[in-house]
Amino acid sequence: MFLDKVTISVKAGNGGDGVVSFHREKFVQAGGPDGGDGGNGGNIVFLADRGLNTLIDFKFKKHFRAEDGSAGAGKNCSGKSGQDLVIKVPVGTVIKDAETGSVVADFVKDGQRKVLLRGGRGGKGNARFATPTRRTPSFSQRGNKTEEHKIILELKTIADVGLVGFPNVGKSTLLSVLTSAKPKIANYHFTTLSPNLGVVKYYDNSFVIADIPGLIEGAAEGAGLGHDFLRHIERVRLIVHVVDISGVEDRDPVSDFEKINAELDAYSIKLAGLKQIVVANKCDLLGDLADEAVDDFEKRTGIRPLKMSAIMQDGIKVLLDEIWNTLKDIPESEPFEVDEDFQFEIVDNQSYEIDRMDDGTFVVSGGFIDMLSKNVVISDVDSNRYFQKKLIERGIIDDLRRRGAKEGDTVEIGDIEFEFVD
């Protein structure tokens, strides 16, 4: 099954907590703090793999989480860092932030890597907080927590040439003749339901050609499989536009040609501006009338199409020459513009806010408070002093005064409640 767009959730690992521990050894008194640091959380890493050609692996697994860092231990042992989670995607995959639509990565080469989310930093053990005046700290630091983010994976086929045209005009047959690809071929519409790629060998050169499933009128607005098809020609450098010149299905090749171009124009200005080689396929069905049909097409469009019978392999050499002579003068496609300034929103460990309740209680909350209050043993003198010191350094005490806090007012900070002392 071919799948080329999916939304998944990713989360880097949390940092492990630092621990409170004191050295205990027979005949050794006052061994001091020896709590180790927590390990860092694992990163979320994406890796482009040429061996993949669909996003089907993400159909049933939607949530990806890197390993958390382990907590520290006594004897100054640091916790183990979480293992990175490496997620493989096909070459040609574009990653977007689901909330903003910003392009955060574009994988155009095999083996290309991108660290999308970094794991949380491990917390400090109590040994880190020992000072000449604080010899036995009874507190440690918690590891940084990470948040889950939703991202969109879109597979945009990487090819030099794109075959476009209405259903059943012979694109798959042409691809099979030009390359060693073996697409499904049958005489009914929408035989091809996913892009087929093939490598064309041209003397000492080669290029990649993609058979884009048959477009229909309204594709740019989502008719049929709409954008699911059109996204796969966003990277091509040249379009080979195939029309059924025979008109055996009561179709007008000129009308079909104009409708497909209108869809390309509606979908993307870039696509509309790409060079095209127009191929008049199925000339074998017209016999001696083929030249007349080609002349009529040129008269009505101003474009002389190449005569072709893919099934008879007639006109292949001329087409290959035309493709290569055109392609060699067109520069390589540029990757999609990645928003280098984009950053996923992270847990804010520095913010706080102060609210005054109806009963006069001041409530201080926020990321900074969550980190600080959970590390404190309020009954421990050193821990309490460290807590107050951090409140003063952060400016929270001064902010409480500005908000009207007076001697004896009740202040709640996290799970801790105390009387304000000025």
Per mean pLDDT, which range of 215-229, 244-258, 325-339, 372-386 is the poorest? 215-229
Q: How confident is the model at residue 298 (pLDDT cuts 50, 70, 90)?
A: very high
Q: What is the pLDDT of residues 371-384, one digit of tens each?
A: 777 666 666 777 77
Q: What is the pLDDT of residues 194-245, one digit of tens each?
A: 677 788 888 888 888 888 775 554 434 444 444 566 777 788 899 999 999 9
For the chain, what is the largest distance between any 2 Cα atoms, rounded to a whole number of angstroms?
Answer: 108
Q: What is the mean pLDDT of residues 320-347?
A: 81
Rounded to 10°, the helix 171-178/316-327 angle is 80
Q: What is the mean pLDDT of residues 262-287?
A: 89
Q: What is the pLDDT of residues 46-58, one digit of tens each?
A: 999 988 888 888 9
Reported as type and span, the H/E element at residue 64 is strand 63-65
Tokens of 133: 């005046």
Residue 1 has pLDDT above 60, yes or no: no
Per mean pLDDT, which range of 24-28, 110-114, 116-120, 154-158 is the poorest? 24-28
AA identity, residue 113: R
The pTM of the full predicted model, rounded to 2 decimals, is 0.73
Q: What is the mean pLDDT of residues 306-311?
A: 94
Alpha-carbon gap, residue 327 to 56, rounded angstroms: 32
CB 200 within 8 A of CB 206: yes
Strands (E), 245-292: 275-281
Tokens of 421: 């002392």
Alpha-carbon gap, residue 195 to 232, rounded angstroms: 7
Beta-ladder partners of 94: 106, 154
Domain architecture of the chain: domains with CATH: 1-155 (2.70.210.12), 161-327 (3.40.50.300), 353-419 (3.30.300.350)
Residue 120 has pLDDT above 80, yes or no: yes
Q: What is the pLDDT of residues 123-136, one digit of tens each?
A: 999 999 888 888 88
What pLDDT is recorded for position 3?
Answer: 75
Residue 28 has pLDDT above 80, yes or no: no
Residue 340 has pLDDT above 80, yes or no: no
What pLDDT is recorded for position 186?
Answer: 41
What pLDDT is recorded for position 301?
Answer: 96
Q: How confident is the model at residue 6 (pLDDT cuts 50, 70, 90)?
A: very high
Reported as type and span, the H/E element at residue 400 is helix 396-402
What pLDDT is recorded for position 379?
Answer: 64
Q: What is the pLDDT of residues 134-179, one digit of tens each?
A: 888 888 888 888 999 999 999 887 789 989 988 888 888 898 888 8
DSSP 134: B
What pLDDT is recorded for position 31?
Answer: 74
Residue 283 has pLDDT above 90, yes or no: yes
Residue with tokens 């003068």: 329
AA identity, residue 260: I
Q: What number of H helices and E strands is found in the chain?
A: 9, 18
Identify which has the larger pLDDT, 173 or 276.
Answer: 276
What pLDDT is recorded for position 198?
Answer: 82
